[in-house]
Amino acid sequence: MFADRAKIAVKSGKGGDGHVSFRREKFVAAGGPDGGNGGNGGSVIFEVDPGLNTLASFRHHYKFKAEDGQEGGKKRCTGKDGADVVLKVPDGTVIYEAQSGKVIADMSGENTRVVLLKGGRGGKGNMNYATPTMQVPKYAQPGQPARELELRLELKMIADVGLIGFPSVGKSTLLSRVSNAQPKIAEYHFTTLIPNLGVVDLEGCNGFVMADIPGLIEGASEGAGLGYEFLRHIERCRMLIHLVDAAGTEGRDPVEDIYTINGELKKYNVNLEKLPQVIAANKVDLIFPEEGAEDPVERIRKEFEPKGIRVFPISAATGKGIKELLYYVQNRLDEIPKNTELYTQEFDPEVMIPEDSLPYTVTKSETEDHTYIVEGPKIEKMLGYTNLDSEKGFQFFQKFLKDSGILGDLEKAGIQDGDTVRMYGLHFDYYK
């Protein structure tokens, strides 16, 4: 089965925790804080690899994790940053958030590298928290936590021209004749299970990229056969070559085939029906019309050329008529804007970044009975913008103590009703 979809889980690296330590040197009775900062966690990065055309590398590997940052060390040593994890995908890959189905990134066009999940920032060591009022900080900032996402990857190939048609009409044969592609070819349905890309070089022209889209069948737009797996690859084509078995070698009517396939395109995505299209009436080398019978190529022409769709009789096997077809396609492409329409981002992983987890400590006083001391930048920051003299401000203060986990830490430390909590000169009686 062609690997054009994959579901994976990715996780960034956790930031290393800041370190708590103090200088210990000969003849220095009480050195200052020298705990270093933690290293940053590794990021999850997606990059386009021009050499890839499937998502097969994700078929047997589900989880990808970046490296955590190292904890800070003594003597102001900063922890080592965690290594990134870089995931290579083919051009045209769309990355969705699996649960919501929203687009995170479209790896197409010039968008060749995306930092999908940034690693957690390393925490600050206690050397950063020394102040005139707190010269011996016994706390450090923890590193930001890792973040993880479940993703759905979907490949929508980027080609100038898409070859469409029923199975076994000669698409792979045509692509192998006109380009450097080497698709597998055999005389049975669904030989092509992987959309093949080939570069068509024409003398005196720029050339173009052609994709052999595996054979569609009636009901493809509802998922019959391999419909859904391949219809998505037509979405970004600028033009379609509709290949049809003009000789009717399998007993099907070529005009009905064209209407059937175009109907499936319209049902899947109404915009696909509006793509410029040319009909290649293939296998003319196998047409032996009986006397008085209508030429099948002329019948196709009468049906579709009045609708503005040119018809070219060709033989992918012998090469007859192919040159005229390709130069017509090239001329049409010169008239069609070459703009890859990117999917708009609908889900921003940056929104998941947690707020700074400023440090604090909860300790029982060694000099005062029934007294607990809470200190640290988290407390200083909160007290700086809270008016404790107002009833509303005090309610906010109480909610902050509960939501931030400080009350829980006080209870773990053994505080009882009536005990005192001291914070930077402020004293409060604790009651549960």
DSSP code, position 205: S
Q: What is the dihedral sign for C-alpha 426, 427, 431, 432?
A: positive
- Secondary structure E strands in 156-269: 161-164, 196-200, 208-212, 239-245
Could you list the pLDDT tens digit for every one of the 432 residues in the chain?
345 778 999 999 999 999 988 887 776 666 788 899 999 999 999 999 988 877 888 988 999 999 999 999 998 999 999 999 999 998 889 999 999 989 999 998 888 999 999 999 998 898 888 877 677 788 788 888 899 999 999 887 777 888 888 887 888 788 888 875 454 444 444 444 556 777 788 887 777 888 877 656 544 444 444 444 567 667 778 899 999 999 888 788 999 999 988 888 888 776 787 889 999 999 998 887 776 678 889 999 999 999 999 999 999 889 899 999 999 999 999 888 876 667 788 888 887 665 567 788 888 888 888 889 888 887 877 776 677 777 777 788 888 888 888 888 888 988 888 888 888 777 888 887
Sign of CA dihedral 347, 350, 351, 353: positive
Grouping H, G, I as helix, E, B as strand and the rest as coil, residue 133 is coil
Could you say which architecture CATH assigns to the domain 361-429? Answer: 2-Layer Sandwich (3.30)
- Domain 161-335 sits in CATH at 3.40.50.300
Hey, where are the domains in the chain? 1-156+341-355, 161-335, 361-429
How many Cα atoms are found within 13 Å in the side-chain-facing hemisphere of 189? 9
pLDDT score of 41:
96
The per-residue pLDDT for 188 is 41
DSSP secondary structure, 342-357, as one string: PPPP---GGGGPPPP-
Residue type present at position 353 = I
The domains spanning 1-156+341-355 and 161-335 adopt the same CATH topology: no
Distance CA 66, CA 56 (A): 21
pLDDT at 27: 67
Tell me phi and psi for residue 208, to 5 degrees. Answer: -155, 170
Three-class secondary structure of residue 380 per DSSP: helix
How confident is the model at residue 218, as a pLDDT? 47
Neighbours of 291 (CB within 10 A): 4
Are the beta carbons of 353 and 112 closer than 8 angstroms?
no
Residue 377 DSSP SS3: helix
What values do phi and psi take at 177, rounded to 5? -75, -35
Q: Considering the domain delimited by 1-156+341-355, tell me its CATH architecture.
A: Distorted Sandwich (2.70)
Report helix angle 171-178 to 322-335, nearest 10. Answer: 80
Query: For the segment 215-263, what is each residue's pLDDT rounded down to a tens digit?
Result: 565 444 444 444 445 676 677 788 999 999 998 887 889 999 999 888 8
List the beta bridge partners of residue 93: 107, 155
Write down the pLDDT at residue 250: 79
- Give the pLDDT score at 187: 44
Q: What is the pLDDT of residue 134?
A: 73
Residues 343 and 55: their CA atoms lie apart, in Å, by 19
Tokens 């319209």 appear where? 266
Beta bridge partners, 163, equal 212, 241
Handedness of CA 405, 406, 408, 409 (dihedral sign): positive
User: If you write DSSP's letter for every residue of 227-251 in order, what string do you get?
Assistant: HHHHHGGGTT-SEEEEEEETT-TTS
Of all helices (H) and strands (E), which one includes residue 260?
helix 254-268
The CA distances from residue 358 to 15, 101, 175, 355, 377, in Å, are: 13, 34, 61, 9, 6
Give percent of the chain above pLDDT 70: 85
Please tell me whether residue 322 adopts helix, strand or coil conformation.
Answer: helix
